[in-house]
Structures are given as C-alpha cells and as structure tokens.
Chain A
C-alpha cells in the first residue's frame, strides 16, 4: 500500500544509546519531515527536507540528525539518547506546495 512507513513502532533506549528511526515513502514526495508529539504541546518540527540531498532544521533539532540520500528515505538519528527525548515521533511527506500531508503511524520512544 502506498504511504509512509515508519519503523519501529515502539522502542526503549537507555540514556546515552544511539538509534535510527526509519521513514520511507513510495509516493515520490519531495517534502519529508520529522515531528515529535508531547502531551499538551502539540506536534513540533524536528528536521525537514525539500528533496534528496537537502535538509534543514525545524523548531527542536538539538540531539537529532537527519540525511536524505534518496527521495524515498528520511531517517532520523538520535546521537545520544536522553530522557527528554521520550516522545512519540511522526514522519510525514507531501508533494510540492504542501498539498496534503501523509503521516506515518508513529514511533513511541521511551528513554530510561
């Protein structure tokens, strides 16, 4: 099925560990983005990309890295996990002009 695929759905990390959240889309969307959702705060933009080879920071980029080597994939890397990074993470993609967003199913990350 066409859409945005996020893996894993759940993850528990120890403080200081690193990991990569995967995001892939098969709709040939140029724009991809990562968000975190925390209670009472709404979704916040971490990083985004307007095309392969181009990435930029959003509102809360510290502690996260991204790369966009292909149109399809936009992985999010946690370099050294901290309890403050406990959150639900969503990846989304859209065509040019942001005409409709497609969201992944989310990754619930707990850092202990």
Chain B
C-alpha cells in the first residue's frame, strides 16, 4: 500500500514543453513537499505546500487538500530540468512517492 502515488513514473519531453507531474496521497497531512533528485544523487527541496499554489522561477506547485492531490508544473522545460521529482507528505510520518523520472531532450 503506497500512501503517496505519483504519475507518470517516467516522462520524456522536448525542450520548451510544458510539463505536469501529479501526486495523490491517501493520508492526512500537514504539508506536502516536492523534491528534486539530480542524476548525481543529491536531493534538493523545491517546495513545501499546505494550501494553494507556489511559484519559483519556471516551477509551479499546486495542492488541492479536499481532493488530496498536488501537481508540479514546469514551464518552458530545459534539459537541465532532467531529474527525478519526488512528492512527499508529512503527517504523523514522512511518506515519499517513488518519483517521476523526467528527461528533457534538446
């Protein structure tokens, strides 16, 4: 049983495309996190959300608490966006999705 489900698992896009990664969760949460893991393995925290929408550069994250769903959007995608994007939620524990592997082709 996975408390956090992400889709798609793998995604290939052409440079410049608009990208959406989805995350659904089944537990009560206090916050949702989007993380980025580069091919070298390092993990960076992109966003923490408890409601609404956040934007940072070309990245936008939204959350719908009632539907228990979040999306991560990347506008004007670039090859340097190629990474694994991980959705995680904090409730009584920290639960992680298995990640979405994104490849952006020039």
Segment touching A, from B14-22, B64-72, B85-93: B85-93
Check: A74 CB closer than 8 A to any chain B CB.
Answer: no
Q: B31 CB to closest chain A CB, in angstroms?
A: 6
Once the chains are docked, how many angstroms separate the CA of A35 from the CA of B48?
Answer: 19
Task: For B35, list chain A residues within 8 Å (CB).
Answer: 101, 103
Task: For B45, list chain A residues within 8 Å (CB).
Answer: 100-103
Task: For B99, list chain A residues within 8 Å (CB).
Answer: 42
Check: B25 CB closer than 8 A to any chain A CB.
Answer: no
Closest to A56 in B: B93
Q: How many A-B residue pairs have CB under 8 A?
A: 47
Contact pattern, A 77-102, Cβ under 8 Å of B = 1, otherwise 0: 00000000000101010000011111
Check: A111 CB closer than 8 A to any chain B CB.
Answer: no
Task: For A58, list chain B residues within 8 Å (CB).
Answer: 93-94
Task: For A35, list chain B residues within 8 Å (CB).
Answer: 96
Once the chains are docked, how many angstroms separate the CA of A101 from the CA of B36?
Answer: 12
Contact pattern, B 74-103, Cβ under 8 Å of A = 1, otherwise 0: 000000000000101010011011110000
Having A33-B94, A42-B98, one finds 14 other A-B pairs with CB under 8 Å, namely A42-B99, A43-B88, A45-B93, A45-B94, A58-B93, A59-B93, A98-B30, A100-B48, A103-B43, A103-B44, A103-B45, A105-B42, A106-B41, A106-B43
Chain B interface residues toward A at CB < 8 A? 4, 30-31, 33, 35, 41-45, 48, 86, 88, 90, 93-94, 96-99
For this complex, 20 residue pairs linking A to B, each with C-beta atoms less than 8 Å apart, are A33-B94, A40-B98, A42-B4, A42-B96, A42-B98, A43-B88, A43-B96, A45-B93, A45-B94, A88-B41, A90-B43, A100-B45, A101-B35, A102-B45, A103-B42, A103-B43, A103-B45, A105-B41, A106-B41, A106-B42
